[in-house]
Structure 1
């Protein structure tokens, strides 16, 4: 059987549950545009995206609590009527709600300021993220699990770290993303307010989804902090936030 040649403008093949597929997805560069995340290899500005959010990242603040993260799966449909030959294939997009990106109120005393929570059992489970500059590291993401009940009246935090998933480290003007095995898997950079993630290694769908969702959470935090700094600068309190 002859397979059609790959087209950079076409999305990956559709599957019923992309997160369950073990096939390795090749490296790619992703770019955030508004609420959509596109492949930089696409030659068509209107080509379908890979992922989407239900809020535009630039407008998210530290007071926002929930963002829906969806992967765009695709189906190829052919329509033919009567004795007519099969028509040109039509690609239809099917957004699949994969994660809720959550920022719980600080008063709850959670172990992690951000969580990535799957809406189904597929994937890598719940992910917790922390932001702290320790050496070159600026952000870490862990697979997390619920703590065993202790019987105390107030039990915080609800989750505890089970294994390091990603470690984000500064490297001059870019940020290197390492996995739990200390392999560099992606490079993050931005130019002229265009945010890009260059994925360097093949990975399965579940890991790719977790990486991109973690990148989105990091952008949410970075942009919210930047907005807060601009606001406090206008109010005459730049020193309190260590402006660089």
Structure 2
């Protein structure tokens, strides 16, 4: 399925609330190189994330419900289903910790991350630890590397000085658009009263997709807390 087809589905989804499903996650992975994943629509329901085209195949999960975790919760574990040749060989692997550490005075800081993802497995350490920084109230988030050296469990890590953005999220026309550091469109997210969807519109390395999905979960978490 071409990128143009996926983008057309995005417009239909915004206008009508419906979307034409791209290939399933399993099909996408099998059609390309092992570390590259084709466009796919992901659905977050409760603690589980699956491809819209095949709800029975779980792709990611978190150990707490993101949409109903209050401000007292500061850590959520994020796991990815490891591919295998059969259901018996598939297993979830803990790859990120999602963090929410609010400032003591409730005054957001541009120097330290309130929401961030901590890489805890080898496949995620290439991109490292990443934090969300709000640049315009309610309208724009920038994803930047954070430095967790010397940080305790209650410390908000500082953003790496002068680092270039890894990802950005822009709120436009009732939806969030995710782009990479060069402005290339990667995904569109929208939600309803029942579930949250992430329409991945670009072929992505698995490492980048993992980070994008984890950061999407962080942004949904932030939305639910605020």
Structure 2 residue 83 is matched with structure 1 residue 102: no
- Partners of 1:217 and 1:165 in 2: CA distance: 15
Q: How does 1:57-206 map to 2 (within 5 A)?
A: 57-77=66-86, 90-107=87-104, 111-123=112-124, 124-133=127-136, 137-145=139-147, 158-161=157-160, 162-206=163-207
The answer (yes or no) to whether the contact 2:118–2:130 under 8 Å persists in 1 is: yes
Query: Greater CA radius of gyration, 1 or 2?
Result: 1
Structure 2 residue 33 is matched with structure 1 residue 24: no
Residues 22 and 128 (structure 1), Cα distance of their counterparts in 2 relative to 1, 3 Å cut: farther
User: How many angstroms does 1:221 deviate by?
Assistant: 0.4
| Aligned residue number for residue 15 of structure 2 | none
- Partners of 1:164 and 1:217 in 2: CA distance: 17
| Aligned residue number for residue 215 of structure 1 | 216
- Partners of 1:143 and 1:212 in 2: CA distance: 16
| Aligned residue number for residue 81 of structure 1 | none
- Partners of 1:93 and 1:195 in 2: CA distance: 25
User: How many angstroms does 1:57 deviate by?
Assistant: 1.5
Residues 173 and 107 (structure 1), Cα distance of their counterparts in 2 relative to 1, 3 Å cut: closer
User: How many angstroms does 1:34 deviate by?
Assistant: 0.8
- Partners of 1:66 and 1:125 in 2: CA distance: 17
More helix by share: 2
With the length of structure 2 as denominator, give the TM-score of the two structures.
0.74
User: How many angstroms does 1:13 deviate by?
Assistant: 6.3
User: How many angstroms does 1:55 deviate by?
Assistant: 0.3
The answer (yes or no) to whether the contact 1:188–1:197 under 8 Å persists in 2 is: yes
With the length of structure 1 as denominator, give the TM-score of the two structures.
0.69
- Encode CA deviations 1:110-138: one digit per residue, 9 max, x unaligned: 7110120011343210001123425x842
The answer (yes or no) to whether the contact 1:142–1:163 under 8 Å persists in 2 is: yes
Give the count of matched residue pairs: 190
Gapped runs of 5+ residues in structure 1? 1-6, 15-20, 78-89, 149-155, 226-244
The answer (yes or no) to whether the contact 2:77–2:98 under 8 Å persists in 1 is: yes
